Amino acid sequence: MYAAAGIVILIVMVFGGFAITGGALGPVMEAIPHEMLIILGAALGALVTGNNMHGIKSFFGGFGKVMKGPRHTKQDHIDAIVLTAKLMKLLRAEGPVALESHVTTPAESPIFAEFPRLLANKPLISLIADALTLIVVSSGTLEVHAVEDVMDNALKQHFHEMHEPQHALSSLADALPALGIVAAVLGVVKTMGSIDKPPSVLGAMIGSALVGTFMGVLLAYGIVSPMAGRLKQVIEADEQIFHAVKQVIIASLHGWPQPLVVESARSGLGHDFRPGLSDLLDAMRGR
DSSP 51-62: --HHHHHHHHHH
Rounded Cα distance between 187 and 208, Å, is 7
What gap in Å lies between CA 124 and CA 111, rounded to an integer?
A: 15
pLDDT at 158: 93
DSSP state of 219: I
Are the C-beta atoms of residues 180 and 211 closer than 8 Å to each other?
A: no
What does the pLDDT look like over 150-190, one tens digit per residue? 999 999 999 999 999 999 999 999 999 999 999 999 888 88
Cα separation of 266 and 275, whole Å? 7
The pLDDT of residue 26 is 86
Render pLDDT for 53-104 as a digit per residue (tens, 0 to 9): 888 998 999 988 999 999 999 999 999 999 999 999 999 888 888 898 899 9
Cα–Cα distance between 185 and 32 in angstroms, integer?
15
Q: What is the pLDDT of residues 183-231, one digit of tens each?
A: 999 888 888 887 777 877 777 788 888 899 999 999 999 999 999 999 9
User: What band does 138 get if pLDDT is binned at 50, 70 and 90?
Assistant: confident
Return d(Cα 78, Cα 277) in angstroms, integer.
10
Q: pLDDT class for 124, splitting at 50, 70, 90? A: very high
